[in-house]
């Protein structure tokens, strides 16, 4: 049996759960979904629409709000009680926060951030990116079941999750938790004070990455943005360095944009950046490395030195 | 405050990597190496906490002899001493093996706070810190963007990054382990004085006999298959630029 751990917050199911269910359904084993929290009946009912053997509703007051201590303790009991062959998660920030500790507590290892899974010589292997997406590796879990893996957001399509002919059974699973043993005391999530720029409305965006080398070269990108009548944005390291304000960051921890034109300059195309911009209608990438992952999503690509190519684009636009 | 900072040495970002003969790792025997980026932010945070609360900053690093390069660099930036768990077998090891090796070497130090980077640039597990917390029996919090130590030193409050611009404060007792996100602070670099001082700082080398079970094995590492239909524009920079502008106007119609 493959156990999929769903993610919900305040009764709202994280849609990445459907993607992980789709991954699980392709593994030739019955699938069980588990959802964990203080009140999960509605989410469990929603999950029961999927073609799964059953849905486990794991309820306890101490599981709301989410804490890694609470979730590790609860899920360890669920895994031990159900004895799955493997346990799968969507690779969300919450999964990053507790799944490795859960696996360790049970004497196992999590294979994280997988983009696929396949049969290789009769063995189930997990495919995951390495070296910032420059390589991928076929990884074999070793040792006894259960094996643990998480799937990168977007690696499978949510609509690939097969729906069942009838709603699956929902079964309540009791867990023993000692609220006093939970060491983290989380406060309510919040957003930073309002952002100065709203890049989601921009028609054209010039985004600059670490290829720009130094803050003193930023005017190069600013000039390109100006002649294109575009907003200037950046990958995370540019904002981390304080060269541009955080509200110009595109990606999983920044803004998600879908402009008509996204011109990526000196950006490698790490998954956390791609999730924020791959919905753009036309993507152009300028990068000196022909193998940079950004070219996987680019419509047009120029392989070259941005310090030559960017001024040339400015000149070509200015020239008429 | 006795703070440990776990630092990993990784291949330099721009190094042209190719898969090794074995096809289970990369060819890195002639590569240049650097400090894993989030670890540099973790080190900086530890140095700032020491400036505010006093105490000691100890670098903990596991890997072959070559990692002494990043250990020296951390000492030059201001760390007080280092623990080097030395083993060739750890150069491409899984998170569990690394966490086990680090935990064994750190166990008796009784650190108040352990900082790791969020994720390594090479393996990208994003889990060595969390597994280390579990092995050391410490509470943990991940993807941290701010650290506040309580005045009485009994606990701390940290700001976690959540997805899409959301954050959350979490309080915890000390000792604790935090995984630090890039951008939490602005980095300082080593000064000449720091580099000179580092020469006199202690590096305790801990030999490792046998690597713990890895739990996972890389069967093959390869360059991902290209699936995109990117139209590459050739020619000199001015030629390519003119052609791009033409295509954006006439084909994509976005200008
Ligand atoms: C939890 C988490 C959240 C994250 N959130 C985000 C996020 O929201 N947004 C984000 O962007 N990242 C995010 N990241 C970081 C992400 O993983 C990458 O590290 C980051 O996107 C890399 O930025 P980059 O492409 O600018 O730099 P690099 O990866 O260093 O790439 C630089 C590129 O520039 C090219 N280059 C260098 N010199 C030149 C030149 N002269 N001419 C042309 N090209 C050149 C290189 O070939 C390379 O491809 C996150 C990471 C984590 C772990
Ligand atoms: N060999 C190592 N030595 C010291 N710290 C490490 C080592 N490997 C990983 N770490 C720490 O664990 C963090 C996460 O690494 P990873 O789990 O590989 O993504 C890194 O940012 C380091 O702080």
Residue extent(s) of CATH 3.40.50.620 domains in chain A: 2-181
- Binary contact (B130, A96; C-beta < 8 A): yes
Closest to A103 (Cα-Cα) out of A149, A137, A168: A149
**Could you tell me the domains of chain B?**
2-207 (3.40.50.620)
Q: Which atom of ligand 1 is nearest to the CA of A209?
A: 26
- Residue B187: C-alpha distances to residues A241, B44, B70, B77 (Å): 8, 6, 15, 10
Check residue B175 and give its pLDDT.
97
Q: Is the pLDDT of residue A319 over 90?
A: no
Nearest Cα residue to atom 9 of ligand 1? A251
Q: Which chain B residues are Cβ-neighbours of A98 within 8 angstroms?
A: 130
Which residues 190-209 in chain B show a CB within 8 A of chain A? none
Query: What percentage of chain A has pLDDT greater than the value 70?
Result: 99
Which residues 259-288 in chain A show a CB within 8 A of chain B? 260-261, 281-282, 284-285
CA distance A34 to A7: 9
Averaged confidence pLDDT in chain B: 95
Check residue B226 and give its pLDDT.
82
Of the listed ranges A29-33, A104-108, A200-204, B13-17, the least confidently predicted one is B13-17
Mean pLDDT value of segment B99-120: 96
Closest to B6 (Cα-Cα) out of B50, B51, B71, B55: B71
Q: Which 3-state string (H, E, C) describes B110-155?
A: CCCEEEEECCCCCCCCCCHHHHHHHHHCCCEEEEEEEEEECCCCCE
Check residue B47 and give its pLDDT.
98
Which residues 51-80 in chain B show a CB within 8 A of chain A? none
Q: Is residue A133 a contact partner of residue A293, using CB atoms and an 8 Å limit?
A: yes
Tokens representing residue A281 in the block: 């209608």
Summarised one tens digit per residue, pLDDT across range B22-45 is: 999 999 989 999 999 999 999 999
CATH (one of 3.60.150.10, 3.40.50.720, 3.40.50.1220, 3.20.19.10) for A199-318:
3.40.50.1220
Beta-ladder partners of B229: none
Q: Is A244 in the pocket of ligand 1 (CB under 6 A)?
A: no
Confidence of residue A195 (pLDDT cuts 50, 70, 90): confident
Mean pLDDT value of segment A79-86: 97
- Binary contact (A131, B183; C-beta < 8 A): no
Q: Is A241 in the pocket of ligand 1 (CB under 6 A)?
A: no
Q: Is B61 in the pocket of ligand 2 (CB under 6 A)?
A: yes
Beta-ladder partners of B33: B11
Residue extent(s) of CATH 3.40.50.1220 domains in chain A: 199-318
CA distance A28 to A50: 16
Confidence of residue A320 (pLDDT cuts 50, 70, 90): low
Mean pLDDT value of segment B109-131: 97
Q: Is B185 in the pocket of ligand 2 (CB under 6 A)?
A: no
Q: Which chain A residues are Cβ-neighbours of B123 within 8 angstroms?
A: 130
Mean pLDDT value of segment A146-153: 97
Q: What is the DSSP letter of A213?
A: -
B162 contacts chain A (CB < 8 A): yes
Q: Is B106 in the pocket of ligand 2 (CB under 6 A)?
A: no
Q: Is A270 in the pocket of ligand 1 (CB under 6 A)?
A: yes
CB atoms within 10 A of CB A75: 26
Mean pLDDT value of segment A147-157: 96
Summarised one tens digit per residue, pLDDT across range B200-227 is: 999 999 998 777 777 899 999 999 988 8
Q: Which ligand is nearest to the CA of B117?
A: 2
Q: Distance, CA B95 to ligand 2 centroid (Å)? A: 8
Mean pLDDT value of segment A24-52: 97
Mean pLDDT value of segment A183-206: 90
Nearest Cα residue to atom 8 of ligand 2? B8
Compare CB distances from B221 to A111, A113, A135 and report the shortest one's residue: A135
Averaged confidence pLDDT in chain A: 96
Compare CB distances from A189 to B24, B162, B248 and report the shortest one's residue: B162
Strand locations in A8-121, DSSP E?
Answer: 8-9, 12-13, 31-37, 54-59, 86-90, 110-114, 116-120
Mean pLDDT value of segment B169-176: 98
- Place domain A2-181 in its CATH homologous superfamily: HUPs (3.40.50.620)
Q: Distance, CA A70 to ligand 2 centroid (Å)? A: 25
Q: Using most ligand atoms within 8 A of CB, pick from A235, A241, A305 the residue to mutate for ligand 1.
A: A235
């Amino acid at each position: 049996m493959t156990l999929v751990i769903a993610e919900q917050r305040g009764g709202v199911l994280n849609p990445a759960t459907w993607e992980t269910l789709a991954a699980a359904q392709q593994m030739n084993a019955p699938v069980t979904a588990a959802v964990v929290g203080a009140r999960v009946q509605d989410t469990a009912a929603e999950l029961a629409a999927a073609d799964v053997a059953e849905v486990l509703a794991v309820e306890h007051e101490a599981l709301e709000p989410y804490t890694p201590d609470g979730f590790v303790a609860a899920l360890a009991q669920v895994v031990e009680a159900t004895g799955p062959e493997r346990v799968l998660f969507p690779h969300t920030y919450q999964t990053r926060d507790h799944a490795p500790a859960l696996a360790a507590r049970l004497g196992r290892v999590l294979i994280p951030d997988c983009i696929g899974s396949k049969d290789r010589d009769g063995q189930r292997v997990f495919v995951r990116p390495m070296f910032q997406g420059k390589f991928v590796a076929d990884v074999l879990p070793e040792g006894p079941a259960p094996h643990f893996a998480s799937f990168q957001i977007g690696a499978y399509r949510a609509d690939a999750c097969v729906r069942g002919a009838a709603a699956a059974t929902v079964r309540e699973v009791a867990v023993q938790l000692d609220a006093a043993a939970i060491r983290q005391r989380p406060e309510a999530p919040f957003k930073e004070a309002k952002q100065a720029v709203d890049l989601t409305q921009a028609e054209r965006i010039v985004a600059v990455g670490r290829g720009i080398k130094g803050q003193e070269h930023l005017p190069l990108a600013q000039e390109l943005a100006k002649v294109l009548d575009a907003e200037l944005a950046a990958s995370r390291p540019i904002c981390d360095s304080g060269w541009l304000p955080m509200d110009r960051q595109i990606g999983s921890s920044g803004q998600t944009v879908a402009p008509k034109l996204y011109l990526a300059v000196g950006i490698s195309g790490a998954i956390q950046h791609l999730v924020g911009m791959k919905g753009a209608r036309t993507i152009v990438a300028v990068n000196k490395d022909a193998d940079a992952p950004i070219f996987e999503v680019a419509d047009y690509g120029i392989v070259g030195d941005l310090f030559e190519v960017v001024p040339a684009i400015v000149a070509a636009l200015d020239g008429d | 405050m006795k703070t440990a900072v776990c630092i990993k040495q990784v291949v330099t970002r721009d190094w042209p990597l190719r898969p090794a003969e074995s096809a289970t790792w990369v060819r890195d025997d002639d590569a240049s190496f650097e400090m894993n980026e989030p670890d540099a932010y973790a080190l900086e945070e530890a140095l700032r906490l020491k400036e505010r609360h006093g105490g000691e900053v100890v670098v903990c690093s596991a890997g072959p002899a070559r990692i002494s390069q990043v250990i020296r660099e951390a000492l030059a930036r201001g760390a007080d001493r280092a623990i080097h768990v030395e083993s060739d077998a750890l150069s491409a090891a899984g998170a569990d093996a690394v966490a086990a090796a680090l935990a064994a070497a750190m166990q008796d130090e009784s650190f108040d706070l352990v900082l790791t980077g969020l994720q390594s640039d090479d393996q990208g597990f994003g889990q060595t810190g969390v597994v280390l917390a579990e092995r050391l029996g410490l509470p943990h919090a991940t993807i941290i963007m701010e650290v506040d130590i309580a005045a009485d030193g009994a606990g701390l409050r940290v700001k976690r990054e959540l997805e899409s611009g959301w954050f959350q404060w979490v309080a915890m007792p000390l000792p604790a382990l935090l995984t630090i996100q890039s951008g939490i602070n602005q980095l300082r670099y080593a000064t000449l004085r720091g580099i000179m001082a580092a020469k006199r700082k202690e590096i305790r080398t801990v030999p490792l006999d046998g690597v713990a079970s890895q739990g996972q094995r890389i069967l093959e590492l390869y360059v991902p298959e290209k699936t995109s239909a990117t139209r590459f524009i050739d020619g000199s920079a001015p030629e390519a630029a003119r052609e791009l502008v033409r295509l954006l106007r006439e084909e994509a119609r976005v200008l």
